[in-house]
Chain A
């Protein structure tokens, strides 16, 4: 999958064409400059700062691995990391629901399927701060959620304070994330299902396969790549979850501070930039580790899908 193959061959010239050089330099300069400025320079600085005891204004010197050791010895950081387990559980439920609704909407003749898809998708486009207010109002004692539950016959006294009670508040926050992203995952699955050859279903129906068998034998293999990418994105997203805690949970109050919220507070409230960088490094290492593990899992445990997956991955790479 060499890069040369994706360059139009008929535009090659032997001698140096200065106009061409000018176009290349002019067109590539700004994006490359911004890529370096906002990705590679911060990345290099992050590595460097993580070994220093410093704030944005003062540098109190090199401290070696101290910043890293603190992360694994202080329970508040470990607890914050463990919070991502809530979000991972939520991500699994979210993907299952998204896949369920995607298959109903694409395989069955549903009246109003388009409207349904749009309604489920729209939360994805809602402004994050607006989501914060909407759900603070939604969860407030005696307001929206409690009214609905009371209408179903559950007395208010038996209901918890959804955002304050530490036994449920993280689940409440996970739900807001599910509410926002489920429809987006569903749209991606619908797209993947639509790309499956429809004659396969006809053949399966003639062979007497029921819906569940069709789902298992045709749809699942057909959308494996998209499913895996979604899974990786949701799991790595869970590790760096911050949106619900930031906007709905009032910046991680009442034990909802995820690891990223801790990084944010460490840098911008406590001004301990070195420590925050070390935490960011750990977060990044975890994300890369999980991504690699999932890729390995899909490659070796689900061997039957290996060929299709590799072919698609190579195709995706070739575009680069």
Chain B
């Protein structure tokens, strides 16, 4: 009898020890992962506060002597013309996000609420477009942009960036799917036009979808660099990405200054992420269903 109790106690204890060991290992794995995720950004952060002399003489991992040395930030901000780049990027983001939200919601409204010949065709054309890897078509897209006179034109870049974004249309379609049709039906019976139904009744109701699309698209456009480098080569229309790209010229290997520029570009993304964390996570999930 007593032997059995001891055996049970022993297995309980062993199980507890095993749990503790596993739990500790899990925490260690997570800590290591977070360390690796943060280390590259952290080292840029500390380096951005170092003076030129400090940067040349100390190791990359030593902390700066003066955490309030904002000299590099001032230099990169003025010499790198970052204010101008921020304003350019901000206007691109505002225009592209507005156009995408309007286009996505309007098309989703029409596709979801009306039955008309071509409804299925439009849906299929968008679905097939997701199968064609966009990256493969950069070469001929460049030719079209050239023919349209959109090289070095901020307007052309905005049009290209607002071009068909299947994910936002998809998010809106999903949303309209769950909005009761009786709502707009009764509004129409009371004499409201379809435009009125869309702009006054449905659009305000899709606010959560609008936020998701705006955040995802906004961050995507803000971070876009391939097309910006290709189509906005003149100095007058530098976005944050192209401005940052050009730093390797004047600042060469003065990484203490470049790191300050890198950190400045991270701030808007960080703020948006902290405010809209939930929408970012949710938007990714709905985007991935598309495959």
Q: Which residues of A contact B (CB under 8 A)?
A: 3-4, 6-12, 19-21, 23-24, 26-28, 30-32, 34-35, 37-43, 45-46, 49, 56, 97, 100-101, 104-105, 108, 110, 116, 118-123, 125-130, 133-135, 137-138, 140, 142-144, 147-148, 151, 179, 183-184, 187-188, 190-192, 211, 226, 229-230, 232-233, 236, 240, 242, 246-247, 260, 263-264, 267-268, 273, 276-277, 280-281, 283-284, 287-288, 291, 316, 319-320
Contact = CB atoms under 8 A, between A and B. Distances in A.
B17 interface: no
Given A56-B142, A108-B23, A119-B37, A3 B123 contact: yes
A172 B44 CA distance: 18
Contacts of A148: 39, 61
Given A129-B225, A320-B123, A45 B143 contact: yes
Contacts of A38: 141, 144, 160, 163-164
B174 interface: yes
A253 B126 CA distance: 37
Contacts of A281: 136
Contact of B164 (A23, A34, A108, A280): A34
B43 A20 contact: no
Contacts of A123: 37, 41
Contacts of B159: 34
Nearest to A151: B61
B115 A7 contact: yes
Interface in B239-269: 240-241, 244-245, 247-248, 255, 258-259, 261-262, 265-266, 269
A197 to B, nearest CB: 18
A10 B181 contact: yes
Interface string B153-175: 00000011011100001100110
Contact of B169 (A31, A128, A134, A268): A31
B12 interface: no
Given A34-B159, A133-B258, 11 more contacts: A23-B198, A34-B162, A46-B140, A118-B277, A128-B241, A134-B41, A151-B61, A188-B288, A242-B135, A246-B226, A280-B137
Interface residues of B, number: 108
A255 to B, nearest CB: 21
Nearest to B145: A38
A205 to B, nearest CB: 13
A235 B236 CA distance: 38
Nearest to B197: A23
Given A144-B60, A277-B140, A27 B226 contact: no
B107 A27 contact: yes
Contact of B115 (A4, A56, A105, A277): A4
B177 A127 contact: no
Interface of B: 22-23, 26-27, 29-30, 33-34, 36-41, 43-44, 47, 59-61, 103-104, 106-107, 109-116, 119-120, 122-127, 129, 131-144, 146, 159-160, 162-164, 169-170, 173-174, 177, 181-182, 184-185, 188, 193-195, 198, 219, 222-223, 225-226, 230, 240-241, 244-245, 247-248, 255, 258-259, 261-262, 265-266, 269-270, 272-273, 277, 280-282, 284-285, 288-291
Contacts of A242: 135
A130 B266 contact: yes
Contacts of A40: 125, 129
B114 to A, nearest CB: 6
Contact of B245 (A3, A45, A100, A129): A129
Contact of A284 (B111, B116, B132, B269): B132
30 contacts: A9-B181, A21-B116, A23-B110, A27-B106, A28-B122, A31-B103, A35-B163, A37-B144, A39-B129, A42-B143, A97-B33, A108-B26, A118-B273, A121-B281, A122-B41, A134-B40, A134-B41, A135-B40, A137-B259, A140-B60, A148-B61, A179-B36, A183-B37, A187-B284, A191-B281, A246-B226, A280-B138, A280-B139, A319-B170, A320-B173
B259 A28 contact: no
B107 A46 contact: no
Contact of B136 (A232, A280, A320): A280
Contacts of B144: 37-38, 41-42, 45
A233 B284 CA distance: 13
Contacts of B265: 127, 129-130
A191 B36 CA distance: 23
A120 B142 contact: no
A43 B125 CA distance: 13
Contacts of A24: 110, 114, 116
Given A7-B112, A19-B194, A126-B266, A137 B44 contact: yes
